[in-house]
Amino acid sequence: MDFLAWMTAAQQRSEAALSHHQPGASVTPERLHEAMRYSTLGGGKRVRPLLCYAAGEVFGAADEQLDLPAAAVEMIHAYSLVHDDLPCMDNDRLRRGKPTCHVEFDEATALLVGDALQSQAFQLLADAPLDAGKVVTMLSLLAHAAGSRGMAGGQAIDLAATGKTQSLAALEFMHLHKTGALIRAAVLMGAHCGNPEGAELLALTHFANRIGLLFQVVDDILDAEASTATLGKTAGKDAAQNKSTYVSLLGTAAAKAKAAELRGEAHAALDRLGRDALRLHQLTDYIVDRHF
């Protein structure tokens, strides 16, 4: 199967799991459930579920074992976008080509959507058709990735740094937490659905850290170069908010060179696995070559 066909099938599988594993819009409280579905379904690239499925495949996990972990990571991601868009944070009105959750519904509902999606994510993991030991490992990985030593911590660092010039090292630290932690969790959770060995997990962690940064460098380049219509979210926000980015600190050409370097390091880490990791190689290239 070529990469596009594989990706489309995995995205559809992920969409179906996300739809199936949260309450219908007619279940009380209807407005909250409608807003949760609005924020999770029918949009987004599904990069984190794709990584989870691809990593699971490397270690012999079946798609049925990966559905719930993949959906759980995407629910945490969707919650983070809903909260990030709130007026108290990034105050954005456009996400995935449609009005943000608090614009379409209201701020209190958007706050509750994030809260409820976070709980739902852990419910899904608890229900995953896996050994109890694997479930506990995954609960721990996702909790760590979402919390103050992961994504939420990275967001706090980002908010504190807004309007100030950050060093490249500080920027990298922030992104390894804000964006990288969840990407790392997606990869490792997928792997743990199968049977990885210790050394393989180390190589995989290195791979995940490289693509976490790669994802962000490309995000910065797209924010500077692509249009709002193409991105489905407000373009040019980093410069407008005077945020330090790879583009503002390095310039566009050097940011692109950095992306090329990280892409090479990610492929090299996968090569060290000594297993067929075709889909992870292809996803690495997709992260670089994407247009939104």
CB of 222 or CB of 270, closer to ligand GRG: 222
* Number of residues that this document lists for the chain: 292
Q: What are phi and psi of 55, to 5 degrees?
A: -70, -40
With CB atoms as reference, the residue minimizing the distance to ligand GRG is 44
Whose Cβ is closer to ligand GRG: residue 96's or residue 279's?
A: 96
Contacting ligand GRG (CB under 6 A), which of 18, 32, 47, 193?
Answer: 47
Q: Which listed residue (219, 262, 263, 270) binds ligand GRG by CB under 6 A?
A: 219
| Interacting positions 170-189 with ligand GRG (CB under 6 A) | 178-179
101 touching ligand GRG, by CB under 6 A: no
Q: Which of residues 259-288 bind ligand GRG (CB under 6 A)?
A: none
Q: How many CB atoms lie within 10 A of CB 202?
A: 14
42 Ramachandran zone, left/alpha/beta (phi>0; psi -120 to 50): left
Interface of this chain with ligand GRG, residues 187 to 216, rule: CB under 6 A: 216
For ligand GRG, give the closer residue by CB, 100 or 135: 100
The region of 80-88, 188-196, 205-213, 246-254 touching ligand GRG under the rule CB under 6 A is 80-88
- Angle between helix 180-193 and helix 132-146 axes, rounded to 10 deg: 170
Identify whether the C-beta of residue 161 lies closer than 8 Å to the C-beta of residue 174: yes
Residue 102 as a binder of ligand GRG (CB under 6 A): the answer is no
Q: Which residue, 32 or 151, has its beta carbon nearer to ligand GRG?
A: 151
Which region among 2-10, 32-40, 147-155, 240-248 touches ligand GRG (by CB under 6 A)?
A: 147-155
CB 280 within 8 A of CB 3: no
Residue from 152, 157, 161, 202 that binds ligand GRG (CB under 6 A)?
152
Closest separation in Å from C-beta 44 to ligand GRG: 3
Among residues 194, 227, 226, 213, the alpha carbon closest in space to that of 58 is found at 194
Q: Rounded distance, CA 266 to CA 258, Å?
A: 12
Span of 40-48, 117-125, 166-174, 251-259 interacting with ligand GRG by CB under 6 A = 40-48
Q: Is 44 in the site for ligand GRG (CB under 6 A)?
A: yes
| Distance from chain centroid for Cα 217 | 14
Count of residues of this chain found to bind ligand GRG when the rule CB under 6 A is applied: 15
| Alpha-carbon distances of 208 from 150, 187, 215, 254, rounded to whole Å | 14, 7, 10, 22
SS3 at position 292: coil
CA dihedral 141, 207, 262, 248 (to 10 degrees): 0
- Least distance from C-beta 238 to ligand GRG, angstroms? 9
What is the C-alpha to C-alpha distance for residues 74 and 70, in angstroms, rounded to an integer? 6
CB of 48 to ligand GRG, least distance (A): 7
Binding stretches for ligand GRG (CB under 6 A): 44-45, 47, 80-81, 83-84, 96, 151-152, 155, 178-179, 216, 219
